[in-house]
A and B are shown apart, each in its own frame.
Chain A
């Protein structure tokens, strides 16, 4: 019986967020909140391991009350229970404070054999929380896992993606993995799953519930501070050709002559 934990995050669909360069404000119309896409793969891997080994899958998220949606979505896709770590005091957490908060929650919920996270969240793209959480919990970990080769009650064997290929690693359990999208194809929620999700009771944990040190959470606990946000700068001089395709290509070839 394996106890598996999955960490998920609700994120704004990043591809739709941009700054209006004139007003320096965010154009946000139609930006939806979604489950971080990498976390779907983490959940799928956890559920698949549960199905082969027996056990339970618990999903946690740190976020505002409406982040409950991603927990219910997870239950619909095979998780057994969802835990919402929510408190205004968590707001503004960077990756350091987030890994602290998640670790406190994991300790509150009791031990897990395996923790699975998405490689990174698409709003920040830092990929720092997974390894940070492993550090807090003092468990071995592998980042960017592309395949689970073997699981037993004692150990897990995985392929960890590298820049030039991959490494095959064996980690003793308990361990933590972060996963990339290649690892699996997430399932679509079944009707039965959706019904279960609707009725599921979501457990809530506040900063006090997990015994968090106020110095270590939220904006206060975050070593990094955002001091400025701005739009990327456009390129300086540019030439956009006009005319027919043939005319434009001729002009381009003339301009590139020195180079090719």
Chain B
């Protein structure tokens, strides 16, 4: 619980304004916490008098943490291919493993995946743990979870990374719960603390308006999901060699409760905006669905794709696959043109790794300009047509 030292408290009120839950307030000459307190610690950190602390029940350690070593990546396979995020995870996984002086393993469940193992070694894996069986060709939560749980219990990695994709976000929380490990979703930064080798996991919270750094001091493995396009894959190194271990899967782990009746791949309106080098994005400032016609025109002119903010998607102007941000996709194109997007951090976390950001907004104080490489202050309905015209001219 939150302990307030009334001798130290000066009733300055900093705690009150640091609480997202309105759970602490100054009453008379001392701060008082209410039932809404979530023990997030924001007030403790901000208190200039060090009058606050959080007391917890003494917890027994789960096990000897030193028994856990190595970094493990859950490799995602679907429709004959390995998801690009898996190579990105091997990229960051390699860095973390090198800093810790440990090995990097890749777990690959799938139907017929044997031919894909070499690409994982080339991308940084020291060991590939291959779980190959026809029952694993399609994603089934229960089978994937059981196999991952078994592999983690046997190999005892200190870190497990997975993609924050539909598959990763579905199966990994189940696995973490089963083994009693801490799991941090959607990390945008992962680093090893030099002093004690702890994995520091940074992620957006509160719709991306705040960043939080999280650690798992008492449990192993330390588990994290990372969204696609947040980490960079390592440069492929064909000279790398590695070991391939075929996992013996007990038959009872291949009994599924889940019947996969059909798998449907959307072709209609299924542009993966993550694959484009240029994105033109529209937001609330478009004022209507019709505005996207203009956005499409500019995107076509630049050979790019159309993206959108949550506001535009929530308004029903454009379907969800186009959404960029904390609750949409993360993108890292060479050029990102934000039109009529205010730039709430919810949006920013999805596009801040773009190389060049152009912001077009009539409000010169819009936060999007803090994220922009170039900013044009003006009405997008004047700016964008003019921009299209100039681009056409410059092409002759």
Whether A235 lies near B356 (C-beta < 8 A) is no
Whether B207 lies near A172 (C-beta < 8 A) is no
Q: Give chain A residues whose Cβ lies under 8 Å from the Cβ of B40.
A: 92, 226, 229
A143 to nearest B CB, angstroms?
A: 4
Does B192 interact with chain A (Cβ within 8 Å)?
no
Q: Using an 8 Å CB-CB cutoff, how does the interface string of A56-100 with B read, 1 for contact, 0 for none? A: 000000001110000000000000000000101001101110010
Does B315 interact with chain A (Cβ within 8 Å)?
no
How long is the Cα–Cα vector from A248 to B349 in the complex, in angstroms?
27
Q: Give chain B residues whose Cβ lies under 8 Å from the Cβ of A172.
A: 257
Whether B186 lies near A169 (C-beta < 8 A) is no
Given contacts A168-B262, A232-B349, contact A248 B383 (CB under 8 A): yes
How long is the Cα–Cα vector from A143 to B258 in the complex, in angstroms?
13
Does A186 interact with chain B (Cβ within 8 Å)?
no
How long is the Cα–Cα vector from A43 to B19 in the complex, in angstroms?
29
A135 to nearest B CB, angstroms?
A: 4
User: B353-379: which have CB < 8 Å to A?
Assistant: 356-358, 364, 369-379
Does B245 interact with chain A (Cβ within 8 Å)?
no
Name the residue of chain B whose CB is nearest to the CB of A175: B257
Does B290 interact with chain A (Cβ within 8 Å)?
no
Q: Using an 8 Å CB-CB cutoff, how does the interface string of A130-151 with B read, 1 for contact, 0 for none? A: 1110111000111110000000
Whether A28 lies near B17 (C-beta < 8 A) is yes
Whether A232 lies near B177 (C-beta < 8 A) is no
Whether A224 lies near B35 (C-beta < 8 A) is no
Does B244 interact with chain A (Cβ within 8 Å)?
no
User: B1-56: which have CB < 8 Å to A?
Assistant: 1, 14, 17-22, 34-42, 45-46, 54, 56
Closest 3 CB pairs of A and B: A223-B182, A92-B39, A14-B207
Q: Which residues of A contact B (CB under 8 A)?
A: 12, 14-15, 17-20, 23-28, 31, 64-66, 86, 88, 91-92, 94-96, 99, 122-132, 134-136, 140-144, 157, 159, 161-172, 182, 214-215, 218-232, 234-235, 237-242, 245-246, 248-250, 252-253, 255-257, 259-260
8 contacts between A and B (CB under 8 A): A66-B36, A144-B169, A168-B260, A170-B261, A224-B183, A238-B372, A249-B386, A259-B335
Supply 19 further A-B pairs (C-beta < 8 A) apart from A23-B17, A223-B216, A245-B383: A28-B17, A91-B38, A126-B173, A132-B173, A159-B264, A162-B167, A164-B78, A167-B260, A167-B264, A168-B261, A224-B216, A226-B214, A229-B41, A229-B213, A232-B204, A238-B375, A248-B378, A249-B390, A250-B390
